[in-house]
Amino acid sequence: MPKKKIKEIFIGSNNKGKLKEIANLLPKSLRIYSNLNFKIPSPKETGTTFKQNSLLKAKYFSEKTNKICMSDDSGIEIDILDKAPGVYSADWSGKKRNFNLAIKKVYKEISKKDKNWKKKKLSARFICVLTIFWPNGKFISKVGKIEGRISNLKRGRNGFGYDPIFIPKGKRLTFGEMDPHKKYSMDHRFNAFKKIKKFF
């Protein structure tokens, strides 16, 4: 693995929620490039695992920009739905990335499995694989998780995606209700980042 500390990086994502979180994790001295300036279309996520998609994106953006690139592939696994939506978490929001729609689908699919689910605690987790890809073809991928449960009501306006329906273990608030910096310091992305922090 390259020994030199990374001084500048391209964040390979077109998801503004993720960009904001990743930028928050990185040291302030680092020069960050993102698609807000480059406008490179996202690649097709053809992988069937978080790791495959994370690597595919980091490699694609690094090859397009010739820069060291970091990508995230993430999603929510809901146990009663046999770990769906998982790698397809973004797809459940439709072409327009409407997460009200995705959350409605989650509730509908859960109700099909168990009509009395609102009285129960349904376990779920967010998973994130972060990959750093260097222009010389070297890469590193690390996984981070956070366990929790599904809220039976959509709560809170912070964050993005499935944040309003996820309550981390040991907490009462959903990620959507929580102070964003509190979320950033405990979530799946933070837990993956801890494992690659030494490169910065």
Active-site residue set: 73
| Residue 2 contacts residue 19 (beta carbons within 8 Å) | no
Q: How far is the CB of 149 from ligand IMP (least distance, A)?
A: 14
Q: Binding to ligand IMP (CB under 6 A): which residues in 115-134? A: 126
Query: Judged by CB under 6 A, which of 12, 34, 62, 73 binds ligand IMP?
Result: 73
Q: Binding to ligand IMP (CB under 6 A): which residues in 173-192? A: 175, 187
Q: Please, which residue, 22 or 68, has the CB nearer to ligand IMP?
A: 22
User: Candidates 22-30, 133-141, 161-169, 190-198 — which segment interacts with ligand IMP by CB under 6 A?
Assistant: 161-169
User: Candidates 62-70, 113-121, 136-144, 160-168 — which segment interacts with ligand IMP by CB under 6 A?
Assistant: 160-168
Q: How far is the CB of 156 from ligand IMP (least distance, A)?
A: 11
